[in-house]
Structure 1
Amino acid sequence: MKIKPLGQAQERSYSSLRGSIGKALSSPGIRSNRKTHINCGSLARMAGNGCANVDQIRRQGRWNNTTINDTYLTNLPRELVRSMAGFPTYGRFSYLARAAFNTSTSLWKKLFPAIGE
């Protein structure tokens, strides 16, 4: 599927935009009722993963508290989830000391029998 680019001076109508996004989503079999707003949720979640707080995300998207919490973000407290997973609640750290744990070769061979091939 090819989406034709518009010139810089051209505007798209809402129905044209919705139709283009609908075609792009249906091609791989994605169903969504929020065709024109589908990127808003992913933008908010990506900002949250980058350690932006909810107030910053809400201001950037010009959303009220109800909209951002009920529509675009999960209701899970990010700091709590990060700390339960073993990550610090501040900054963008993703290193876990337990990930550096060396396991025996025999365990690896049991888990992945074709590892030596």
Structure 2
Amino acid sequence: MKIKPPHQAQEWSYFSHRESIGKASSSLGIRSNKNTHINCGSSARMAGNMCANVDQIRRQGRWNNTTINGAYLTNLPRELVGSMAGFPTYGRFFYLTRAALHPPTSLCKKLFLAIGG
């Protein structure tokens, strides 16, 4: 599939934008009714994962509080969920001590049959 961009001196119409994103999505097996806004939610969540606060994300996307909370961010309290998963509540730390544990080989063999046994 080839997406034809418009000439550089020409403004891209809403219809052309929507159609090209729809074609690209459907060729990958992605079904969405938000073709022109498909990246808004993921970019807002990625910014949140990088510790941007909701006000910063809202201003960057020029969204009001209803839009950002209802459409682009989850309603889960990120700090609480992170702390329950074992992440510190301060700064940008993503290292979990338990991730350094090495399970016994006998357990790995039971879980992953492809491991020699």
Normalising by the residue count of structure 1, what TM-score does the alignment of the two structures yield?
0.91
Per-residue deviation, residues 18-77 of structure 1 (Å, max 9, x unmatched): 111111111122211111111111110110011100010001111111110001000001
Q: Work out the CA distance in 1 between the residues paired with 2:115 and 2:100.
A: 19
SS in 2 for 1:79: helix
Larger mean CA deviation between 55-64 and 105-114 belongs to 105-114
Corresponding letter in the other structure for 1:60: Q
- 1:19 to 2:19 alignment: yes
Per-residue deviation, residues 86-114 of structure 1 (Å, max 9, x unmatched): 01123222111111123222222222233
SS in 1 for 2:74: coil
- Give percent identity, aligned residues only: 79
Count of residue pairs brought into register by the alignment:
117
Q: Work out the CA distance in 2 between the residues paired with 1:30 and 1:95.
A: 32
> RMSD over aligned Cα, in angstroms?
1.5
Normalising by the residue count of structure 2, what TM-score does the alignment of the two structures yield?
0.91
Which sections of structure 2, spanning at least 5 residues, go unmatched?
none
Are the counterparts in 2 of residues 87 and 94 from structure 1 also a CA contact under 8 Å? yes
Corresponding letter in the other structure for 1:88: P
Partner residue, 1:102: 102
After the TM superposition, which segments of 4 or more aligned residues of structure 1 sit over 6 Å from their partners? none
Which sections of structure 1, spanning at least 5 residues, go unmatched?
none
Q: Work out the CA distance in 1 between the residues paired with 2:45 and 2:115.
A: 36
Are the counterparts in 2 of residues 51 and 90 from structure 1 also a CA contact under 8 Å? no
